[in-house]
Amino acid sequence: MFRRNFLLVVAFLVVAALLGSPTRASAGFRVTINATGGATEYFYATSSNSATFSNITIGNFTATINTDSSNFAGTPTIGSLSQTLIIGNVTGTGGSIDVLLEVIQNVAGLVDGQITNAGQITSLNAAALATWSAPSGNPLNASSDISVATNATVTSGTAFNATTVSGTTFNSLTSTLNPAQNERIQFIQFNGSSGYTLSNHLIVNGINAGATGTALTAVSGVTPTPAPAGLLLVATAAPALALGWLRRRKTQPVNG
């Protein structure tokens, strides 16, 4: 009898804990891509933790996009959003490609992958941006960073990351693709006491035809003032991570 009552109490406590637990915010990724020679393409991921969109062909470019929002709506000290664009091949006249990454409220009826239906694209674009609640305070630091890993096939081009925090857009410093310039960071301060939205826009201009195997990483972050040392470690590791990913991919078969 004691054992049965004990199990009933434990079950009650578990249910109560589950019912009383805060619900994780429901958010996903909206990815909008433009490129020389192609029409705008849209992608969606139901989870804002991470997503990969592989073997994209748009205009003069083939590409893979890795996205990562490591802590929405997570840790109390850092808000972060990043993407890595792997340019597989550049054809034709070369040109420009840009990828806008946004964290949005989930859209009913959409599944992971490219969105081509006109009505679904309208629903995707109408979705509201998700709001980070942490860190909170005034002022907060927002950072916009770009890093590049290239090879000898890349002879021209520049790139930057346009970060938007609560409707205010500011650019990272511009990086040249050859020679590659890494850790091109800019900062602003803003009031995040009521939460904030965060997106980044990786913009590559003037890359030459014949370029291949180029990795570009855009990182947007929000930290308390002053920024903790951990953010500087993350920023320092970004180009190495991108280059390592690119090297590993070269040794793996390409998925169709």
* Extents of the domains making up the chain: 50-95+132-250
Q: Are 160 and 172 in contact (CB under 8 A)?
A: yes
Q: How far is CA 6 from CA 2, 13, 14, 17, 56, in A?
A: 6, 11, 12, 17, 57
Rounded to two decimals, the pTM is 0.80
Q: Cα–Cα–Cα angle for 104, 256, 123, nearest 5°?
A: 25
Q: Are 171 and 162 in contact (CB under 8 A)?
A: yes
Using the structure block, give the residue that is written with the tokens 């991108």: 242
Phi, psi (5° rounding) for residue 186? -130, 155
Give, for all 256 residues of the chain, the pLDDT tens digit.
433 433 333 333 222 222 233 334 579 999 999 999 999 999 999 988 899 999 999 999 999 999 987 666 667 788 999 999 999 999 999 999 999 999 999 999 999 999 999 999 999 999 999 999 889 889 999 999 999 999 999 999 999 999 999 999 999 999 999 998 888 999 999 999 999 999 999 999 999 999 999 999 999 999 998 755 554 444 444 444 454 545 544 444 333 3
Q: Read out DSSP for 39-80?
A: --EEEEES-SSEEEEEEEEETTEEEEEEEE-TTTT--SS-EE
Q: What is the DSSP letter of 135?
A: S
Bridge-partner residues for 171, per DSSP? 162
